Amino acid sequence: MKDNLHQATLIVAITALIVMCTIPCNTIAQTCKVQGVVRYYQNDFVGWKPDVGAEVWVVPKSKKYPTRLWLEYQDQCERWLQYRKLAKYAYGYQKSMEVSGFVGEDSLLTLSGEILLQRLYIENEENKCILKQALITGDGDYAINVPYGRYYIICKSANKKRHTLLEMENRYLIYEVTLNSKSKILNFEFDADRIDR
């Protein structure tokens, strides 16, 4: 009787070992530690400060969030800022001018309005777009463990804004990333949005 029990236990143990050995190692979800610093430029006297209260969102690429519009918006904001700098020296503060290669204020406002609707959709908890998020505290650092995959990492500033429909209350930065390593450094810097810098 004892021998039969011993044999049964041995068979169960061997079966369990075989099953465990046949499970592929990659079925265990691997995660990437996304970390970095979020800061903003206050002024020439104070310099850079931690963006306390800012948020970092992780949105899966499968949500088909149209990052192209965000990236185009960020590019147009930079070009509009450059245009304003040139216009300041060439024409004073004349805002209605358009120069070849630079966007006008109207097209920037139109684009920011389109993205505003997308942002509201993402922020709506019922749509479950945000997989993970982090709130920035006193030191400006953040760290989020995220499963391997393709994502949009969006940062919402708590201390910077812009005169567009999208960023009237908070500035935003977005990156499209593929996470396939143990760690990823991703910093967000909201610089001075001034025409005389």
Structure confidence by residue, pLDDT tens digits, 117-155: 888 888 888 888 888 999 998 899 999 999 999 998 999
Confidence at residue 32, expressed as pLDDT on a 0 to 100 scale: 95
Confidence at residue 12, expressed as pLDDT on a 0 to 100 scale: 45
Tokens representing 30?
Answer: 């691997």
Element containing residue 123 per DSSP (H, E): helix 105-123
Provide the whole-model pTM.
Answer: 0.72
Sign of the CA dihedral with 55 first, then 58, 63, and 67 last: positive
Mean pLDDT of the 25-34 span: 74
Between 107 and 73, residue with greater pLDDT: 73
Would you give the end-to-end CA distance of the chain in angstroms? 88
Q: What are phi and psi of 85, to 5 degrees?
A: -65, -45
Confidence at residue 82, expressed as pLDDT on a 0 to 100 scale: 76
Specify which residues 57 forms β-bridges with: 133, 154
What number of residues does the chain have?
A: 197
Average model confidence (pLDDT) for the chain?
Answer: 77
Integer Cα distance of 119 and 158 in angstroms: 16
